[in-house]
Structure 1
Amino acid sequence: MARKILVVDDEAVLAETIAYNLEQAGYHVITAADGNSALDAARSERPDLIVLDIMLPGMDGLEVCRQLRRENKTATTPILMLTARGDEIDKVVGLEVGADDYVTKPFGRRELLARVRALIRRSDYVPGGEGENGEEPEQERRSANRELVAGPLRIDLAGRRVNCRGQDIELQPKQFELLAYLVRNRGTVLTRDQLLHNVWGYDYVGDTRTVDVHVRWLREKLEEDPANPKLIQTVRGVGYVFRW
């Protein structure tokens, strides 16, 4: 069955072009031209991915994203934001409110399809990884249902669920994948470029603030004191490391 993608853009020509390219690649596409219609379509159609323009009449794309992330049915649906060239603030804010990735206008067909495929692919499985010695750490117990255990964390890879200190934690797709990758590689300092390549799944053309934003989200949800993180630590000038 073809994957379903919701394209939200009030520029009719651009929306039709995006829809055509996605359909040619084998996807089933539905469209919406404003924020309220986008919310209705996301709730009723349950798309596998949403391509969402920030600049929309009425309710803008950022507010649409915020609302979708608050609802159980759409909380984990991958969202690819469309931003105007040079609008760095929009890119960062888009990630802050729950977008998984962004592409800057104007963009090419290949770039769009690469990002769409990566988001859908990554929503289907968790990226791999190894411990410090090239093998899975002994503490990383992998049961029949593929579970990672690290300190206060229990990560159900098959069910894509996270429990921390006995509390179930809801994570968006990229947050989940980043956490799983960090835990798989516990004790190893990972650069931002490494994380972009291995978690986002392609040669990312954006900037490394994407990683910083997602790490901050994880800390807010997992750390007892996000200002003084114990699990996901910063290695200044290099990147991040999961320690336990």
Structure 2
Amino acid sequence: MPKQILVVDDDPDLSLLMTLFLRKHGHEVVTAGDGRAALERVRASTPDLVVLDWNMPHLDGLGLAAAVRGELGLTSLPLLMVTALPDHAQALAAGIDKVVSKPFSSAVLIGAVEELLASAGRAPA
């Protein structure tokens, strides 16, 4: 069964590229152009995984992660950040599960997505 992935990036070209990579690997993809729109999408229908950028208008990736984890209480929803910023430790401390550096290959993105989806499918120990 295909997994629904929310791709959140304010760069339409990068959003389209990630969407194509993910659809090619059998995933259903929905998109949002900023953190606020993404938060509304997650509220309306929780995806299986969120791929998000760090720098976005209205609500950045760290703010989105905080809202998903805190306000919505979705502590087990996998969050994958794709960023050019070097401070991965700050992203991980904010509740991001995995960080992929830009630029990235399709193999790196798909590998990270599949790893998080597999981890999310396991029962807690």
Whether 1:117 aligns to 2:114 is yes
Name 1:53's counterpart in structure 2. 53
1:29 is paired with a residue of what secondary structure?
A: strand
Equivalent residue runs for 1:22-41 within 5 Å:
22-41=22-41
Which residues in structure 2 correspond to 1:166-177 (within 5 Å)? none
What's the counterpart of residue 91 of structure 2?
Answer: 94
> How much does 1:83 deviate?
1.3
Which of residues 92, 102, 106 is equivalent to 2:103?
Answer: 106
Consecutive aligned runs of 4 or more in structure 1 exceeding 4 Å deviation: none
Q: Distance in 2 between matches of 1:35 and 1:22?
A: 20
Post-superposition shift, 1:92? 1.2
Higher RCO (Cα < 8 Å, 6 or more apart): 2
> For residues 56 and 6 of structure 2, what CA distance do their matches in structure 1 show?
15
SS at match of 2:103: coil
- In the other structure, the counterpart of 2:2 is 2
What 5-or-longer segments of structure 1 have no aligned partner? 126-157, 161-179, 181-244
Structure with the bigger percentage of helix: 2
TM-score by length of 1: 0.49
- Partner Cα distance (1:60, 1:32) in 2: 12
Shift of 1:45: 1.9
Displacement after TM superposition at 1:44 (Å): 1.3
Deviation of the 1:75 alpha carbon: 2.1
Deviations 1:146-173 (A, max 9, x none): xxxxxxxxxxxx4x3xxxxxxxxxxxxx
- Quote the Cα distance in structure 2 between the aligned partners of 1:26 and 1:7: 15
In 1, the alpha carbon distance for the partners of 2:97 and 2:34 equals: 20
Identity of aligned residues (%): 37
Counterpart in 2 of 1:68?
Answer: 68
2:22 aligned with 1:17: no
Instruction: Specify the code of the residue in structure 1 equivalent to 2:100.
Output: V
Paired residues, number = 124
TM-align CA RMSD: 1.1
- Give the deviation of 1:20 after TM superposition: 0.8
* Aligned mates of 2:66, 2:89 — CA distance in 1: 14
Structure 2 stretches of 5 or more lacking a match?
none
One-letter amino acid of the counterpart of residue 34, structure 2:
D
